Chains A and B, each alone.
Chain A
Amino acid sequence: MLLQVKNLHVSINGKEILKGVNLEVNKGEVHAIMGPNGTGKSTLAAVIAGKSGYEITQGEILYNGKNLLDMPPEVRAQEGIFLGFQYPVEIPGVSMTNFMRTALNEIRKYHGQEPMSAKDFLARMTEKKDLVELTSKLTNRSVNEGFSGGEKKKNEIFQMAMLDPQLAILDETDSGLDIDALRIVAHGVNKLKTTENATVVITHYQRLLDYIVPDFVHVLFEGKVVLSGGKELALELEEKGYDWIKKETENH
């Protein structure tokens, strides 16, 4: 098993946000997490990626059988976890090129590999840029600085392609994208899919799932995974909204 989230309870400033989340992801799978605003989807993603400021009060997260919660965020990334941010951060003065080259080489170093040669690195940049149809105009700029909302999201997938993670968690990568960009981004994600890696997409829209077809759909509701199913669950949600889930959970 690639990722195992067991009975995860997380609080922010004493307020419990995640109230016993369970999630299992295997290699080769695509999972979708859906759920109303403010139910803790981004919180779950951030805790998996290792963001500070959260209190883990109960539960554990295993990644390839290793205890993830003991690792600093960079080690999690080096182990193969990638987070596509819902709100990518602007970093003035740090060029995309330097940023990716540093990241790639630190990951390589972690795995005992030599730094990538400038030539290979450039070739990789070009290949991955083409994959998400990102212009050089953007990769020559500072990280996300002045990028439009859609460009930022494309840039997340570009970085994912550059770093080739084993587990990619894409937090609302589809929101803010126009139809063409959505197709490009989905195409990129599908191209990167292998039997050795896995993708978790967090989304509000069933439309994305037409392009990135999930093996499992989970509903996160008030800090818990209350329902899991196949891709047809997304259709059902699209049709009925979340009210019926509310009622169902109240009945239990």
Chain B
Amino acid sequence: MKGRTLSRHFRESFKSLGRNGWMTFASIGTVTVTLILVGVFALIMTNLNKLADDIENDVEIKILIDDLAGSKEERELLAKIKKLPDITDVKYSSRDEELKKVIKDYGDDFVLHEQSNPLRNAIYVKAINPQETANVAKKIDKFEYTAEVNYGKGKVEKLFKVLNTSRNAGLVLIIGLLLTAVFLIFNTIRTTIFARRDEIEIMKLVGATNSFVRIPFLLEGAWLGLLGSVIPVTVVAVLYYNVHKSISPNLKGELLQLQSFSPLIYQVSALLIALGVIIGMFGSFISMRKFLKI
């Protein structure tokens, strides 16, 4: 194909958008509505997922060190724990620090105990994969000089079950919505092509090759997808920016945080544009095939 033919195809695709006025408008409208749904839903699901992660990552193993352990044994225990491959965030906390925490959490009633501190030195550790917490705890429990290893047995397992179930439900919803979006956009494109099947036939009858007929339609499909993603991308960005602005300050220092604006909004935008453009082109390609056979 010659360069000027390619530029001709680009020109034709733009011209056709304009001359198909109503049809173009309707298609872009459908794509827009569909992609807004996908975008908003993607934001909600990402944040719910982040929420689940945050809750999960808060699960900690607390190791109380046996009173019999001297500082040398304590150091050895700490070293052993640190050598475990699947752990992270190891923190040593002396009995004095432990008491301060209790006082901070439960109030000055406990100040009395400052004289004779009943608490033990402790080590805090997290499993890299929170779902492995129980196994890690079991391993640590076998080490010497561990008096107690706590991670909220029972509760944690239940929590993980709930989180996993909701994650799976979310995944099913996302896939369902994506498929619906693909279907809706595809169908819109197919309708525009179907309305113009006679044109495709005429072009073939006067000696156009398949690609000569096809390329402007593919480009037009891409523009429909692209134009249809402009409003959704804007809506999603503005919406999330404002949600962030009004909610994030209230969450300062809390365990649960919104997914940050920056990479997320670009990822979602890319998803929306890609969905629009790729299905626009692919939909045109598929829908044209049978009309080119003449």
Partners in one complex: no
